[in-house]
Each structure stands twice: as C-alpha cells, then as structure tokens.
Amino acid sequence: MTGIRLQEHHVVARVPKLGDAATIIDAPLTIRVDPLTGHTSRLLHGEKLAPTSRPDLSELTATPPFCPFCEDKIEIATGVFDEQITREGRIRRGLSAVVPNVMAYSEFSSVGLYDTTQHFRDLDELTPEIVSDLLTGLTAYTRGVHSIRPMWHSINANYLPPAGSSLVHPHAQSAHDDFGTTQQRRLIEASNAWEGEQSYWRELVELERGGDRWIGTRGRVRVMTPWSPVGFHEVWMLVPDAADIVDLTEDDCQDLGAVLSAVLQGYHGFNLASFNWAMYGGGPKRSDRYGVLLRAVSRSNPEPMYRSDVTYFERLHGEAMIDLTPEQVAEAMRPHLAGVTHD
C-alpha cells in the first residue's frame, strides 16, 4: 500500500478561438501537484511547442582554434586536483576526463568532459559508454571530496547555450559544499518528513511501476516521467537504494549512463538539441529516506532569436508550463529505452 496521493485540478478557461475571435470556446487546463514537495505544474491542452525540425548546429559546433577541453589543449589549459581529493591528477575514464573547475560556485567543483577527443558530439553521439564513463569519473571525484568531510553533492549538465552552457564542448559539472541548493534541501527535508513506512522514493516506484508514466528498469535504476514536471520532456532516473552519489556503484554508473544516453536519443527524436540534467545526492546527514535522483529536461533549440522555454512562470513563480503530458512523454520515450531497460 502506498500513501502517495496524485492530485490534479481541472480548470476550464473561456477564451476567444484562434482566428475567430468572436467565438468563445472552452480551453481545458490541468494543474498537477507534486506529492512530495507540493510543487505545481500546468499542463496545457492542444498547445504544441516542440520543434518540427532540427536546427543546423554546424556553425555553432565547429572546432575553434582554442578549446580548453579538446585533447590537444586539456593538459596545458586545465589544472590537476589536490592530492587530498585524488592522486590521479585529472580523472580519466575511457574518453572522458574530470578536471578542476575554474568557476567557483561551490567550495569544491569539477568539470567532466564526455569525450576529450571530439570537440562536439550531438545528442545521438553521446553513447552509453561515453555517458557511463563520464558519470563514473564524476562519481570518483565526488568520493574524493566526500573523504574530506560529508557534504551536499550534485552532478549537473548544461548542453549548448540555451541550456546555460558557455562552452560548446559537451561537459558536466559537479558541486560540493556544506549548504546544497534550494532544490536539494527541499527534496531532503520533504523526504525526511515523509511519514510512510518506507522511503517516499521506494513508494513512488511501487506506485508508478507498470503505469502510464513508467519507462522501465535497468539494474538498480528506475526510469519514469514525473507526475508534476518542472521542465519539458522531463525524465527521472531513480536509484532508491542509493542514498547519496557516493553510494553509486560502478554498475549503477554504467546503468545510469546507458539510460541517460537513451533519453538523449529520445530528445534527438523529438528534434531537440539542448538539455539540462541534474543528479542530487542525499546531503551530509545520511538518511535511508532518500534515493538518488537524476532528472533530465529538454531546453529550447539553439536558433537565432529563439524563444526561451523559461518564462516568468518558471523563473519567477517556480511553476512549469508543459505542452506534452508526462504520459505522452513516457510513451514516446519507451521505444528509445526498449533496448536498455526491462519491464
């Protein structure tokens, strides 16, 4: 039995018909409430904001004369880690590399390159092996930082300028400090306050397994779309048996990498070209009430004068406006993940 309540409100607005302003029609709207945090999102009906074709990325992604993350420059343009964190200097796994971040947005932070040998990889070229190696390297760095003292850990990615990335060479970043972020603290506080017999995250998997938002499993990874998304095409990759990033095994990193790679293939299938993902650790005070969550969302395509997918709703109200329902996203994603997940 589960105590999770999936709550939604149905609203009907009366609006002039597009192209026929004299006619007033009913426009339905669904407002969904996240059962853990109370976050609400608005699912629009009939509005289709997804692009109908992929943008030409060739100019944006051409190899520049100098890129600090390309293999011929990385040894001179990036530093090495303090021996307290790792004796590896730069952490290399396969074609990936993890190096110190020159930007300080946390006490400790790193940059992870999916592949130093290629300046740009499109979404369909971020293979399971490439993504798994990146996650394995960033998790190794996180363990090194954690050995100094327990902290809040997250591993995150911006891909191309619409997602906030200043450098085109595909990369991810990690952040580690004593404070965490608003979202991290909110998730942990709500997970700890959850009164169910088992953790919220285990209950959620029980509730969603086999349903309209369920995509599948791989190893200890559970894949689904969220009831109340915070972004477009949002997919959740959950590891309910790992309370923190430092608890992820090598197998977990392989499985998360395979699933995330398949999700990005799915985004490519939607004609998308930009995304963010974030993986939240469970915080410095260990709790079996939390499970690691890796969430991915798509972003606007990089096109001249593009329309941002973040409006005042998302930026100033913390409220997502979504055109496809999570159930539609799950249905479209399943074929892309069929080869890498079970049930």
Q: Which residues bind Zn ion (CB under 5 A)?
A: 67, 69-70, 119, 169
Q: Which is nearer to Zn ion, 71 or 319 (CB)?
A: 71
Q: Which is nearer to Zn ion, 70 or 215 (CB)?
A: 70
Count of CB atoms situated within 10 Å of the CB of 66: 9
Q: Which is nearer to Zn ion, 43 or 168 (CB)?
A: 168
Q: How far is the CB of 166 from Zn ion (least distance, A)?
A: 13
What is the rounded CA–CA span in Å between residue 40 and residue 5?
14
User: In this chain, which residue has its C-beta nearest to Zn ion?
Assistant: 67
What is the rounded CA–CA span in Å between residue 235 and residue 168?
23
**Closest to 160 measured CA to CA, from 250, 275, 314, 283:** 275
Q: How far is the CB of 167 from Zn ion (least distance, A)?
A: 8
Asked if residues 44 and 313 have their Cβ atoms less than 8 Å apart, the reply is: no
Q: Which is nearer to Zn ion, 70 or 322 (CB)?
A: 70
Count CA within 13 A, CB hemisphere, residue 178.
2
Q: Give strand ranges (E) for 45-141.
A: 91-93, 96-100, 108-113
Count CA within 13 A, CB hemisphere, residue 288.
4
Q: How far is the CB of 290 from Zn ion (least distance, A)?
A: 36
Q: How far is the CB of 281 from Zn ion (least distance, A)?
A: 28
Q: How far is the CB of 138 from Zn ion (least distance, A)?
A: 18
Count CA within 13 A, CB hemisphere, residue 194.
28
What is the rounded CA–CA span in Å between residue 224 and residue 243?
19
What is the rounded CA–CA span in Å between residue 269 and residue 264?
9
Number of residues written out for the chain: 343
Q: Which is nearer to Zn ion, 117 or 287 (CB)?
A: 117
Q: How far is the CB of 122 from Zn ion (least distance, A)?
A: 14
Measured N-to-C along each axis, helices 182-193 and 200-208 cross at an angle, to the nearest 10 degrees, of 80
Cα 111 to the chain's mean position, in Å? 16
Q: Which is nearer to Zn ion, 119 or 186 (CB)?
A: 119
Q: How far is the CB of 32 from Zn ion (least distance, A)?
A: 40
Q: Which is nearer to Zn ion, 19 or 65 (CB)?
A: 65
